[in-house]
């Protein structure tokens, strides 16, 4: 193996890692926003996200025969998933977390695990009534073609990209575009609106925010709504990118996305995005370590293959937290003593 193939190979690995990272990033945002206001690891977020994926699946399935424009279908799917996941998240907050606002922190954590278990079965039952378990996205055919592939107006660009190792499908480009758009919207919402200010105030200090006339219950509910809507988006993106989901498939990406949120500094929105991207790329790089090892002729690296992808994320987290205990972009909360 020579070095001229190595370059495009690595570029390809990193590109696909970035696409994956964007999906993680949007899921991680759902965790980090809820964490920001309640300091709660919302274990149920993985199911909120699966709910979005399921809703997206249903929309694409129902609209499959329709001659509607694919992007319109996507828009409908995204909106429906956002609404469904957002509402679900609000309901969960109202029923399961709000009554426990003043309980010790572990109590809502266990409740969240309970809610997560309930939702897994509920999703499976609902889809099971229609005889389905694994749900495979029926995307408009155009989404499955290559980005700037043959016979498209930008074929030259596509060829150039392929040469450097980037070969993307339309749906992957959509994943990135939708992610960026959601990030921009979220950024605007949090940093430039009154609601965003209220959310930040509640995240900082719920009691004081209450004294300033902010209805913290309402703000928390709205935060869950936004977090859930992001979960819905990420569900649809996940379904598009990987094709198949089932009631239980939220768990693994959920854990990795939460790791991403912590890696970036939990509670920090740019941190969650950075963490997601870093983990996406690192997971893919760990997956190809054995190839790099054989190219560079390092025997020990050759034992590290795709089976270490999952724990690689955690080991990176350990390393980063040892050197930067608040995560990459976490505020260092110097405690007043």
Residues numbered 74-133 forming contacts with other proteins, rule: CB under 8 A: 96, 99-100, 103-111, 113-122, 124-125, 128-129, 131, 133
- Of these, 46, 290, 301, 328, which contacts other proteins (CB under 8 A)? 290
CB of 185 to other proteins, least distance (A): 26
CB 236 within 8 A of CB 135: no
Please report, as residue ranges, which positions from 178 to 237 form the binding site for other proteins (by CB under 8 A): none
CB of 112 to other proteins, least distance (A): 9
CB of 215 to other proteins, least distance (A): 20
**Sheet strands (E) in 118-239:** 135-136
Which C-beta is closer to other proteins: that of 193 or that of 331? 331
Please report, as residue ranges, which positions from 300 to 329 form the binding site for other proteins (by CB under 8 A): 305-311, 313-315, 317-318, 321-322, 325-327
CB of 192 to other proteins, least distance (A): 25
* 231, containing H or E segment: helix 216-242
Which C-beta is closer to other proteins: that of 229 or that of 240? 240
Q: Interface mask (CB under 8 A) for other proteins, residues 2-41, using x and -?
A: ---x---x--xx--xx-xx--------------x---x-x
Q: Which residues is 244 bridged to in the sheet?
A: 136
Look at phi and psi of residue 331 and say left if phi exceeds 0, alpha if psi is from -120 to 50, else beta: beta
Eight-state DSSP code of residue 169: B
Kind of pairing, strands 135-136 and 244-245? antiparallel
Which C-beta is closer to other proteins: that of 149 or that of 196? 149
Q: Interface mask (CB under 8 A) for other proteins, residues 38-77, using x and -?
A: -x-x-x----------------------------------
CB of 114 to other proteins, least distance (A): 3
Q: Interface mask (CB under 8 A) for other proteins, residues 242-281, using x and -?
A: xxxxx-xx--xx-x--xx--x--xxx--------------
* 245, containing H or E segment: strand 244-245
Question: CA 252 to CA 246: how far, in whole Å?
Answer: 12
Look at phi and psi of residue 178 and say left if phi exceeds 0, alpha if psi is from -120 to 50, else beta: alpha
CB of 304 to other proteins, least distance (A): 9
- Of these, 46, 223, 234, 283, which contacts other proteins (CB under 8 A)? 283
CB of 325 to other proteins, least distance (A): 4
Look at phi and psi of residue 42 and say left if phi exceeds 0, alpha if psi is from -120 to 50, else beta: beta
Closest CA to 50 of 139, 140, 115, 99: 115
Number of H helices, E strands in the chain: 13, 2
Long-range contacts of 299-303 (CB under 8 A, 24+ apart): none
Q: Which residues is 146 bridged to in the sheet?
A: 169
> Residue 1, interface with other proteins (CB under 8 A)?
yes
């Amino acid at each position: 193996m020579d070095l001229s193939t190595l370059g495009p190979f690595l570029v390809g690995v990193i590109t696909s890692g970035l696409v994956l990272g964007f999906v993680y990033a949007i899921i991680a945002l759902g965790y980090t926003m809820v964490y920001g206001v309640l300091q709660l690891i919302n274990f149920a977020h993985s199911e909120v996200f699966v709910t979005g994926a399921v809703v997206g699946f249903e929309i694409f399935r129902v609209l499959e025969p329709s001659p509607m424009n694919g992007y319109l279908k996507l828009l409908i799917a995204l909106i429906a998933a956002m609404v469904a996941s957002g509402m679900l998240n609000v309901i969960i907050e109202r029923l399961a977390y709000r009554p426990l606002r003043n309980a010790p922190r572990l109590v809502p954590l266990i409740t969240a695990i309970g809610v997560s278990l309930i939702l897994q079965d509920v999703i499976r039952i609902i889809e099971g009534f229609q005889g389905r378990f694994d749900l495979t996205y029926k995307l408009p055919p155009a989404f499955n073609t290559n980005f700037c592939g043959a016979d498209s107006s930008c074929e030259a660009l596509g060829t150039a990209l392929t040469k450097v190792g980037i070969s993307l499908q339309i749906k992957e480009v959509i994943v990135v575009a939708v992610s960026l758009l959601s990030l921009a919207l979220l950024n605007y919402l949090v940093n430039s609106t009154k609601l965003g200010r209220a959310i930040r105030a509640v995240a900082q200090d719920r009691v004081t925010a209450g004294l300033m006339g902010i209805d913290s219950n309402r703000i928390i509910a709205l935060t869950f709504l936004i977090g859930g809507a992001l979960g819905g988006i990420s569900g649809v993106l996940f379904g598009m990118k990987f094709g198949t989901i089932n009631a239980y498939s939220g768990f693994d990406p959920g854990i990795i996305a939460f790791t991403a949120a912590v890696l970036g500094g939990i509670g920090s929105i740019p941190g969650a995005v950075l963490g997601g991207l870093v983990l996406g790329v690192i997971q893919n790089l760990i997956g190809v370590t054995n190839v790099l090892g054989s190219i560079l002729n390092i025997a020990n690296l050759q034992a590290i293959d795709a089976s270490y992808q999952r724990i690689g994320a955690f080991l990176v987290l350990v390393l980063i937290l040892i050197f930067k205990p608040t995560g990459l972009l976490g505020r260092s909360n110097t405690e007043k003593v």
